[in-house]
Structure formats: structure tokens, C-alpha cells
Amino acid sequence: EATTAPEAAPAEATTAPEAAPAADHAEPADG
């Protein structure tokens, strides 16, 4: 179980960063 959790955690962390930058760029565009 410990091995499966760590693998899932990194995957989520990588997806969040990608979505965050996109939102940041979209906000400035609107402003």
C-alpha cells in the first residue's frame, strides 16, 4: 500500500502544476 500511495501522489502533483500555470495565464489575459 505504501508503494501505491507514493506513486499516486506524484501523479496528482504533476497534474496540479500543469493546470495552475494555465489558469494563471488565463487570468492575466482577461485582466
Report d(CA 1, CA 22) in Å as an integer: 33
pLDDT (0 to 100) of residue 9 = 55
Report d(CA 20, CA 30) in Å as an integer: 16
6: exposed, middle or buried (C-beta count within 10 Å: 0-12, 13-18, 19+)?
exposed
pLDDT (0 to 100) of residue 15 = 56
pLDDT, tens digit only, all 31 positions of the chain: 555 555 555 555 555 555 555 555 555 555 5
Give the closest residue to 27 by CA, choosing from 10, 19, 1, 17. 19
pTM (2 d.p.): 0.13
